[in-house]
Structure 1
Amino acid sequence: MAFHEVRFPGDISRSARGGPERRTQIVELASGDEERNASWANSRRRYDVAYGIRRTDDLAAVVAFFEARNGRLHGFRFKDWADFKSCLPSQVPGATDQVIGTGDGSTTQFQLVKRYTSGAQSWTRTITKPVAGTVTIALNGTAQASGWSATTSTGLVTFGTAPGAVIAVTAGFAFDVPVRFDTDAIDVTLDLERLGSITSIPLLEIRR
């Protein structure tokens, strides 16, 4: 299998449904109390793009995309319109949005991440598919126009010279979600005049 660095049609993904999923085991005791354990350390996103298909031309675009990916075989990029920035949806990404590491004078590579915080709790998401041309970097709050590069296929930021000790490395970016089709068949009912019914076209986030 391979990953195709191509994005699913944005006009269709805009109306898709879906979001993060977690896996939790819950055991109910005889007393009525519960024991809960997280099976997954990280969430996994699911989407259904059938809701974004309004015309037969949309369907043709999805079928072509599906065939080019060989169904479930190859992964691709997907824009989650509800969560595709290093900042809040209403804001513009900036170089100080997310802390991606602290310099130690020797480390030259840092992984892009996004933190989700509520109260005292937070979860850190690894970002592997930043959008080309959107990554900005700052050191101790000062934007860096050069001296680094970002790999859009992995989300790794590489510095020519390692940031010094205790220097905060921050980043801003837009990003896609790596996904694959979660079906090997597209089930569509057509009539003579317009698009009929589509049961589901599921996508599943790829975790490596």
Structure 2
Amino acid sequence: MAFLESPRFPDNIAFGATVGPAYMTVVTPVYSGREARAIAWTQSRCNFEVGRRLMSVADTAAIDAFFRVVKGRAYGFRIKDWTDYSVTTATGFLAATATPGVFQLSKGYASGALTETRSITKPVVGTVQLYRNAAPVSAGGGAGQYALDTTTGLVTFVADASQNMTGNTPGSVTVLHFGSALTGAAVGKYVGVSGVSGSLGTTLNGKLWQITAVGTNQITIAANTTGNTGSGGAAKLYPQGTDVLTWSGQFDVPVRFDIDEMKKQIVERSGSNGELLVDWGSVPIIEIRV
């Protein structure tokens, strides 16, 4: 569905919102008085209420215009949750995805020994700083640098090291051959593989494989490729599970209006100039998955 990246919902109106996380739990009572509870959502969805208050003519015009351009419930948009819009390196971390070298910006919440991870999909442009083992990481195209998609919160790292394959030896484990050594390769590390042709590529491409042996211009990975054939491709080393990847910055919440009809009413005049004050009924906004 259409999503409006800019502008975000007016900050001064969002500032006065009633907001909080919501879950969906299926509760099934039984005759004994006990109950079973099933967690339907692994992450919360925030609910906002920006109405139920008096607004100035200027704020009224702003929210009215915004509602019209997003066409009620039709378009998603960004909103700032003034109660929770930033992370520090103590709460911000990068979660690995199924794609080698790609990580999701995330925020951790903890209470005692219990934790929850929140995926951050709408970071604020220009506020994000990444860290690897407490050292700042630069955005760019150089080895170990990264690119950030501010529409998804996905971070794509440039490989620390990469080598094109000159050959391979399939089997219960797989040997990858190179023209020169893969810098940084070591037993226990994980290597990403891409661009291999044939059935061998079907098995290896787009996945991380643990290195079990390192030889002269070759590595052995824990991949069973018995009977596979293929050629070409490259092996790449990305940040490892032993690396501590954190971030700091700000983020928005992806939301939509939860109504298609907006109602407002002039209730009084205020001040010496007789400025109109407008009463807005319920204006619910709900977080969406993107």
Fold similarity call, TM over 0.5: yes
Is the Cα–Cα contact under 8 Å of residues 17 and 51 in structure 1 kept in the other structure? Answer: no
Cα pair distance change 1:21/1:67, threshold 3 Å: same
TM-score normalised by length of structure 1 = 0.87
Structure 2 residue corresponding to 1:113, chosen from 106, 113, 117: 106
Shift of 1:54: 2.3
Per-residue CA shift, 1:42-97, capped at 9, x if unaligned? 211110111565212101100000111111111100000001011xxxxxx34x64
Q: Distance in 1 between matches of 2:91 and 2:35?
A: 38
Cα pair distance change 1:62/1:165, threshold 3 Å: closer
Q: Distance in 2 between matches of 1:20 and 1:97?
A: 18
Where in structure 1 do 4 or more consecutive aligned residues deviate above 4 Å? none
Equivalence for 2:158: 160
Equivalence for 1:99: 93
Shift of 1:196: 3.9
TM-score normalised by length of structure 2 = 0.64
Per-residue CA shift, 1:103-150, capped at 9, x if unaligned? xxx932111011111111111111100000111111111112342121
Cα pair distance change 1:200/1:33, threshold 3 Å: same
Letter in 2 for 1:155: G
Any stretches of 5+ residues in structure 1 without a counterpart? 87-92
Equivalence for 1:202: 284
Structure 2 residue corresponding to 1:124, chosen from 117, 133, 142: 117
Shift of 1:9: 0.4
Q: Aligned-residue CA RMSD in angstroms?
A: 2.1
Equivalence for 1:90: none
Q: Give the match's secondary structure for 1:83.
A: coil
Residue identity over aligned pairs, in percent, reads 39
Q: Distance in 2 between matches of 1:111 and 1:35?
A: 33
Q: Which stretch shows the higher mean deviation, 45-54 or 167-176?
A: 45-54
Any stretches of 5+ residues in structure 2 without a counterpart? 140-144, 160-237, 270-275
Aligned length: 199
Cα pair distance change 1:139/1:53, threshold 3 Å: farther
Q: Which has the higher strand share?
A: 2
